[in-house]
Chain A
Amino acid sequence: MRSDLEAIKTIDVRRHYKMGTNVISAVDGVSLTIRDGEFAALLGTSGSGKSTLMNLIAGLDRPSSGSILVHGRDLAQMTSEELAKYRRHTVGMVFQSFNLVPTMNLAENVELPMRFAEVDRAERNDRVQDALKRVRLSARLTHRPSELSGGEQQRAALARALVNRPKLLLADEPTGNLDSKTGEEIMNLIQELNSTLGTTVVMVTHERALAERYATRMIFLGDGKVLDAGEQLTTATVNIAGGVQ
């Protein structure tokens, strides 16, 4: 599914924060390109700038300077309304802490992005069912997040991220709060989506082993800079039932 088209291109992206009199460079001149359909892992120690870069790509934050081109459109030049539209239709996000709305059941959580995208009401139910079926949570439609295990919550978050059929899936430490077995389950799902739907995946992680096992490319960050942009690894062969051969 991978093509040579550029999905994401960052050009000398910087993100500085002021902390009192000090200026902290969370991202400091990052230039890299991620191609369409790639499964890229952003690796680095804590404070290396990987989450900040992820937020910039997600359109949740704006760079202090530089450009972030996603499918040719510069996020830095977009208005807040355009960025919201971009998040609605182009990006799906998965967080370490799942970030499901605790007062909504799973179906409602998954439906939420479709409300913002103004998807027709008649269509929503089918799409909710499909998304939850894909993450094998069809039986948990009416359950609230607090009634689910961590793995189930992350699967639900994944279903929610995909329900608007984004071209880009951004996962910030998706297995960080899960045990290794459940984490593996989630990673298999993400990999499956990448290979079957062709969704470009950018995953932030500090677990090198996980990245090596699932990602097609590893990008190393340190002190807000790209230490190693990494090259395309051998494409992992996906077993639909889960696991990598």
Chain B
Amino acid sequence: MKAYDLVELAGRNLREAVLRNSLTTIGIAVGVASLVAMLSLGVGLQQVFGKRLGRSGLFDTVIVASKQDFRTEDDRRNRPNMQSGEIKSLDDTARQTFEKISGVAEVYPEIRLTAELRFAVDGKAERPHFAAITALPTSANNSEAFEDLQGKFFSGPKAEEAIVLGEFARELLEMPEDTRQSDKQKLSNEDANRLIGKELTLRYAERATNNESAIAPSDSNKAKAADEAGANFDFSVVRREKKLKIVGVVNTEPYGGMRSVSRGRVFIPTGLAESMNFMQPSDLRTLMRASKGKTYMTLIVRANKPTQIPVIQETIKKMGFSTYSMQDASKTLRYVFIFLDMFLAIFGSLALAVASLGIMNTLVMAILERRREIGIMKALGASDIDVKKLFFVEAGAMGVLGGVLGTSLGWTIGRVINFGTNIWLQRQDIPTENFWYVPWWLVVGAMVFSVFVSLGSGLYPASRAAKLDPVQALRHD
């Protein structure tokens, strides 16, 4: 039998028992809707978390350190006695090389220091405060932490501006001690305005480069050896002051790299921090080493997409540096979501499994009702395969229709629940999110799955109809 005849006959048969077939189709639609709603919730949650984690900067960065400073367990095991000549220094040349790796968005040094900050609140006398200062690149503006920023972000990479952490803002404003730790609560706009636009004086230690060698000239052999090794790089420590304009108050600390032992409370632009030549704790260590110029303790390499991290990390590793990223943690997270999606899919599929029994029941009933008709068709020349195909097409048609209806229904349910949830979130003063997301693959997949399940359910009835003895069938009343 030709395809159009099959479809036409199947359509006619479905229309003949329109109520029963409609109910069966609705059953499939409910099953598909449940599957779509569950999976779209899983996908939506995954997206929300992925977006948030992506914006946290945890998953799109690789922290690079020289093997001299940061050696992994593997390095120690495989190369216990590394020679200093083999160690690549993490200098500007290395930085430029990293910038050229495909997929790298930016490379910036991790700068953290503890310094004295002086601030005069409401015209009173200046008071000193000690705080950890963290440099942030301008790209940090997209970070989740700056979502509820009061004021504005740095106007440029070298702007002499600062953003302070809510907790430190309370300290600056000399608010009572017991209210300072309540970092979950935003500073009131009134309090924030008491800080924004005001000046903060930063007192810090600058690493001022000396032109003369620190090694005594009398010891000419040692000086020569040191020169050859490029150690003609010593410095003085000079106390400096810098006026910074407070431009914003942030409630959560943005991600700033690996060494987050001391919590950053004041943030300044990385460009500015680099130009200020802060004295870093690592500088003392570097001084003792043979070095040809300024080296970095660590560099943060940010990728355009988190998926590019493994390749970038591997490339840098091959260059001879120690690397660290949160990819392993993200892998675990991916597994968690795979299990969550699987659980939701199984839960959603239960309704579809019940619906598939409905299809089977409808088709088996149809065989009983159309027994004589099947006998007539066989007497008129229909083959077993023709009869089987006819039942298959009927099951498939119910599956297609149920799939389309179910996907639309699932999508609508998702939208309605998302709408309701967001109203609730708004009332709780929490930013709204799209928890339900129906990607195209879910739409196509749900429809294909619906047809697949329907055809699977039609398998037994179709083969039973095909095997029907025409003589017996024709005798049936």
Contacts and interface: CB of A to CB of B under 8 A. Distances in A.
State yes or no: do A and B come from one complex: yes
Interface of A: 55, 58, 60-61, 80-81, 84-85, 87-89, 93, 95, 99-101, 103-104, 112-113, 115-118, 121, 160, 164
A224 to B, nearest CB: 16
A116 B469 CA distance: 18
Interface stretch (B246-254, B323-331, B350-358, B376-384): B376-384
A103 B381 contact: no
Contacts of A118: 1-2, 5
Contacts of A55: 471
Given A84-B381, A85-B381, A87-B379, 14 more contacts: A61-B470, A84-B378, A84-B386, A87-B380, A93-B379, A95-B379, A95-B474, A99-B372, A115-B2, A115-B5, A116-B377, A116-B383, A117-B381, A118-B1
Contact of B383 (A61, A81, A99, A112): A81
Contacts of A117: 381
9 contacts: A80-B383, A81-B385, A84-B378, A84-B384, A95-B379, A99-B372, A116-B1, A116-B383, A164-B381
A95 to B, nearest CB: 7
Given A55-B471, A101-B373, A103-B16, A84 B379 contact: no
Given A99-B372, A116-B1, A88 B470 contact: no
Given A61-B471, A103-B12, A118-B1, A113 B380 contact: yes
Contacts of B382: 84, 116
Given A115-B5, A115-B9, A118-B1, A99 B386 contact: no
A63 B379 CA distance: 17
Contacts of A61: 469-471
Q: Enumerate the 6 nearest inter-chain pairs by beta-carbon distance, A residue then B residue, closest first.
A: A88-B381, A84-B383, A116-B381, A115-B5, A113-B380, A87-B381
Interface in B365-423: 372-373, 375-386
Contacts of A164: 381
Contacts of B5: 115, 118
A60 B378 CA distance: 8
B1 A115 contact: yes
Contacts of B381: 84-85, 87-89, 113, 116-117, 164
Contact of A87 (B4, B9, B378): B378
A88 to B, nearest CB: 3
A81 B4 CA distance: 21
Contacts of A60: 378-379, 470-471, 474
B17 to A, nearest CB: 10
Nearest to A163: B380
A81 B387 CA distance: 12
Interface string B449-461: 0000000000000
Contacts of B12: 103-104
